[in-house]
A and B are shown apart, each in its own frame.
Chain A
Amino acid sequence: MNSIIYDTYTIFWRELKRYKKSRSGVLIRLIQPAIWIIVVGNIFSGTQSLIQSVGFDGEYIEFMAPGVIILTAIFTSIFGGVNTLWDRRYGFMNKALTSPISRSSIALGKMSAISLIAALQASLIIGIALAIGVNFPNPFMIAPIMAIVILFSLGFSGISVIVAATAKSQETFWGMINFLGMPLFMLSPALFPLELLPNWLAVIAKLNPVTYTILLVRELMTGVSEGGIPILLSLGVLFAFVIIMIGLASYVFTREVNKPF
């Protein structure tokens, strides 16, 4: 057990070192969520009355800010596993696989590094939101929000690591990731409250772990709960999702890297 933690940290350390050296990417990856919050947040500002009809009395942009924070987390973490493909192509993976560290710790190290990076990106988006005038009633809530973002990204990066380990080419990876990322974001209350979704969509949204994460963040940020889903249920779903993804990702990763690339 001790050595799994040590090995996971080794890979985590390496991923973060690499991230630090590619700083130009940080700003580029912020552009998309920034556009969402600035452009879409203002385009839909007229829907304030709709939002208010379900008990939310702030502006639309305040309603959707938690959605964009999670959007940042979704895309940073789901793209994050792509370097697994480079590692397999350029030999780092073989180097790690012929050393005594366990296969799972490679997957877990990558996932924890990705989740920290996703949290960093999300915190920058919170900064942008504050800068454009999103009201944040209780600033102390930032800490639990970040904790939730880290947890959520840990689980979500599992998807990325699984797809990267299974896909043998960049094309397959990006195809799969695009197929998964956008729908998971859209089928959630990120942009509009659950109550306003048609029934069948709401049912699908309730199967989506993204939904519960957004509800949690929104509740912490604005103090308004919606959809009649208690906080404990949301937390439970989030934890279950993370644990399942950790298990699944280490299993699939271990299985796939033992096959010739």
Chain B
Amino acid sequence: MFSIETKSLTKSFGDVIAVNDISFSVNSGEIFGFLGPNGAGKSTTMMILTTLLKPTSGKALISEFDVTSNAKKVREHIGYVQQETTVDEYLTGRENLLLQAKLNHIPKNEIDKRIDEVLDLIELSDKQNDSVVTYSGGMRKRLDIAGGLLHRPKVLFLDEPTVGLDIQTRRKIWEYIKKIHKEFDMTIFLSTHYMEEADNLCDRIGIIDGGKIQVIDSPENMKNAMGNEVISIIMDDNTSHNSFLSKLKEIRFVKNITEDGSKLTLFVSNGTQVIPKIFQISSELEIKINTISLTRPTLDDVFLSYTGHEIRDDDSHFNRRREHAKMKRMRS
């Protein structure tokens, strides 16, 4: 059985298509990640799956319940932890969880036990009676995540769970997410624009860009499909490099090349033998190479090879339009 299933899911705001004909399914018990830059359509998809937005067309099912026609049933089966921390600052940690328990109709005689249990899990038992105002950013996030777990949903949605947190806190949150997944055996759907996060947590990743899913696979498979090694070349800005590029493509071990301004990324299988050949060609064509490096492929490279741009590359024309539409939507 699938925990999440979407069929040709589409959402448009006016003439901007935020989510474009997305179909995927997530197995029960899986950690599935949506990886993409801001404005790729991650949050919009998540808002449809959590019944906050209605799709323009297509279908989405959570535990076999349709998000539009059976929204109430869907809400009983999901936990949703938003990108912003949403805990009530004026309330104590425990009161926040109590509120969450009541919102989710946890039986009265269970509430205290469940709260103690999650407080223990996220290691906030000793601070539970302090006002949340006194909590650090990481503690608030932990409390938020705990709130999403209390009613033991079948599917837990985490929208950018570590955005804005420092690296130590981020790793700590990852540990909690893994612990939760092990303890409650729930399906987790998370969105992120951190490669490391997707790589670290997810069983499978869907790379989403411009409202479309580019590829879905496990992080390992994605990296393996890239070839074993990556060579990055940065050339002098004003050299024309078309002939250079076509010559490079003829080298035996080169699987794929992407071009981003004066930066070339070569996905290769035998890097140490390719590099001398690159220099040979560049000196023949009098191309000036500024730097060259040989690395193991990362998800960054995977992302680059599927989308043709890096994940930080947020300022493309398409995204500006999307952001503009979003701002307009918020204002109206």
Contacts and interface: CB of A to CB of B under 8 A. Distances in A.
* A and B interact: yes
Interface of A: 3, 6-7, 10, 13-14, 17-18, 21-22, 90-92, 94-101, 168-169, 258, 260-261
Contacts of B130: none
B99 A14 contact: yes
Interface stretch (B74-82, B200-208, B247-255, B305-313): B74-82
Nearest to A102: B72
Interface of B: 13, 47, 50-54, 72, 75-76, 78, 80, 82, 84-86, 88, 90-91, 95, 99-100, 102-105, 131, 147, 329-332
B50 A98 contact: yes
A95 B82 contact: yes
B331 A18 contact: no
23 contacts: A3-B105, A6-B105, A10-B102, A14-B91, A18-B91, A21-B90, A90-B86, A91-B82, A91-B84, A91-B86, A92-B88, A94-B50, A94-B52, A94-B80, A94-B82, A95-B86, A97-B52, A98-B51, A98-B78, A100-B75, A100-B76, A168-B330, A169-B331
Given A10-B103, A18-B88, 9 more contacts: A18-B90, A91-B85, A95-B147, A97-B51, A98-B52, A99-B100, A169-B331, A260-B13, A260-B53
A17 B103 CA distance: 15
Contacts, number: 74
Contacts of A97: 51-52
Nearest to B105: A100
Given A22-B90, A168-B331, A260-B53, A99 B82 contact: no
A90 B75 CA distance: 20
B165 to A, nearest CB: 16
A261 B330 contact: yes
Among B13, B85, B105, chain A packs the most CB atoms within 10 A around the CB of B105
A95 B76 CA distance: 13
Nearest to B49: A98
Nearest to A92: B86
B330 A99 contact: no
Contacts of B332: 168
Among B13, B104, B147, chain A packs the most CB atoms within 10 A around the CB of B104
A10 B90 contact: no
Given A17-B90, A90-B84, A94-B80, A10 B75 contact: no
B187 to A, nearest CB: 16
Contacts of A101: 103, 105
B51 A14 contact: no
B66 to A, nearest CB: 16
B106 to A, nearest CB: 11
Contacts of A100: 72, 75-76, 103-105
7 closest Cβ pairs, A-B complex: A91-B86, A21-B90, A99-B103, A10-B102, A98-B80, A100-B75, A98-B50
Given A95-B80, A95-B103, A21 B91 contact: yes
Contacts of B13: 260
Nearest to B78: A98
B86 to A, nearest CB: 3
B63 to A, nearest CB: 14
A94 B82 CA distance: 8
B251 to A, nearest CB: 50
Nearest to A96: B103
A90 B82 CA distance: 10
Contacts of A261: 330
B91 A17 contact: yes
A147 B332 CA distance: 39
B161 to A, nearest CB: 14
A92 B85 CA distance: 9
Contacts of A3: 105
B331 to A, nearest CB: 7
Among A21, A100, A258, chain B packs the most CB atoms within 10 A around the CB of A100
Nearest to A89: B84
A246 to B, nearest CB: 21
A154 to B, nearest CB: 22
A101 B102 CA distance: 9
A260 B329 contact: yes
Contacts of B53: 260
A37 B110 CA distance: 51
Among B91, B95, B99, chain A packs the most CB atoms within 10 A around the CB of B99
A91 B72 CA distance: 19
Contacts of A96: 103
A51 B100 CA distance: 54
A13 B50 CA distance: 25
Contacts of B52: 94, 97-98, 260
A25 to B, nearest CB: 12
Among A7, A21, A98, chain B packs the most CB atoms within 10 A around the CB of A98
B198 to A, nearest CB: 23
